[in-house]
Amino acid sequence: NIDGIALQALQRHSELQRQIAEMPYLRFELVEHAETASNHPLQQIVGGERLWLDDFGSGLANFSAVGAWRYQYIKVARELFTLLKQSEEGVQLLGTLIKMMNQHSDGVIVEGVETEQEWRL
Q: What structural domains and CATH numbers belong to the chain?
A: 4-114 (3.20.20.450)
> With a threshold of 0.85, does the pTM exceed it?
no
The pLDDT tens digits of the residues spanning 47-103 come to: 677 788 888 887 755 777 787 778 899 999 999 999 999 999 999 999 999 999 999
The more confident residue out of 19 and 61 is 19
- Residue 60 phi/psi, 5-degree rounding, is -90, -45
What does the alpha-carbon distance between residue 50 and residue 71 come to, in Å, rounded to a whole number?
7
Q: How far is CA 99 from CA 46, 87, 114, 117, in A?
A: 28, 19, 21, 19
